[in-house]
């Protein structure tokens, strides 16, 4: 009987991720020195990245969260994004940094970016750990990118595969072998 075995291939190891996150925290700390930025983690995927990033930042900062859901499985609602959880404070006049796990088509981030821009922050930038730029449908200006990755579905380090594997310290994809 033929059986399908799923093998996992690591594309980013724990040490590669940790090294890169440190570099990103250093750069953000330099560029936001004296500005007390608010880092907004987009739930759920960014929780681990946000935790490591802010732990390594050497400047004063605040954190907050937003959660959005998309309806990509409904062909009539493709690209529609709904706000599920909003910020706990007003960001008018503040330096704001959106913290994402991964940018794929760009639809989620495009919604979040414009939603936050309407609240008149003093500045608004984006940091993402992963960028699947090959898949982009909407152009967005991302200031800080951790890693460019190929067009594959990945999981681990906060990212899920059907809500599983978020706790892995590395990032991997599945190789289906029949």
Site string for ligand IMP, 84-113 (x = CB under 6 A): ----------------xxxxxxxxxx----
Q: Which of 72, 104, 131, 160 is catalytic?
A: 104
| Residue 107 contact partner, candidates ligand IMP, Mg ion, none, CB within 5 to 8 A by sort of partner | ligand IMP
Q: How far is the CB of 171 from ligand IMP (least distance, A)?
A: 9
The residue among 107, 99, 111 whose CA lies nearest residue 137 is 107
| Residue 41 contact partner, candidates ligand IMP, Mg ion, none, CB within 5 to 8 A by sort of partner | none
Q: Is 52 a catalytic residue?
A: no
Phi-psi region of 110 (alpha: psi -120 to 50; beta: other; left: phi over 0): alpha
Residue 121 as a binder of Mg ion (CB under 5 A): the answer is no
The owner of tokens 């930042």 is: 57
Q: Which stretch binds Mg ion (CB under 5 A): 28-36, 37-45, 59-67, 169-177?
A: 37-45
Cα 62 from Cα 156, distance rounded (Å)? 25
What does DSSP assign to residue 135?
G
Helix (H) or strand (E) holding 30: helix 14-31
Site string for ligand IMP, 140-169 (x = CB under 6 A): -------------xxx---x----------
* CB closer to Mg ion, 33 vs 67: 67
Torsion (CA) 32, 38, 41, 47 in degrees, nearest 10: 80
Q: How far is the CB of 109 from Mg ion (least distance, A)?
A: 9
The residue among 49, 44, 47 whose CA lies nearest residue 128 is 49
Catalytic residues: 104
Binding site for Mg ion (CB under 5 A): 45, 101
């Amino acid at each position: 009987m033929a059986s399908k075995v799923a093998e996992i291939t690591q594309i980013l190891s724990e040490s590669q991720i940790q090294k890169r996150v440190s570099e990103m925290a250093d750069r953000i700390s330099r560029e936001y020195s004296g500005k007390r930025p608010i880092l907004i983690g987009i739930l759920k995927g960014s929780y681990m990245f946000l935790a490591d990033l802010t732990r390594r930042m050497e400047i004063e900062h605040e954190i907050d969260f937003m959660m959005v859901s998309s309806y990509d499985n409904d062909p009539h609602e493709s690209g529609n994004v709904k706000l599920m959880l909003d910020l706990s404070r007003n960001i008018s006049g503040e330096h704001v940094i959106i913290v994402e796990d991964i940018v794929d088509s760009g639809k989620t981030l495009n919604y979040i970016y414009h939603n936050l821009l309407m609240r008149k922050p003093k500045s608004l930038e984006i940091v993402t750990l992963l960028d699947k730029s090959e898949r982009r449908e909407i152009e967005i200006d991302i200031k800080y990118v951790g890693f460019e990755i190929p067009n594959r579905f990945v999981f681990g380090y906060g990212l899920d595969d059907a809500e599983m594997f978020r706790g892995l310290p590395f990032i991997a994809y599945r190789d289906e072998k029949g």
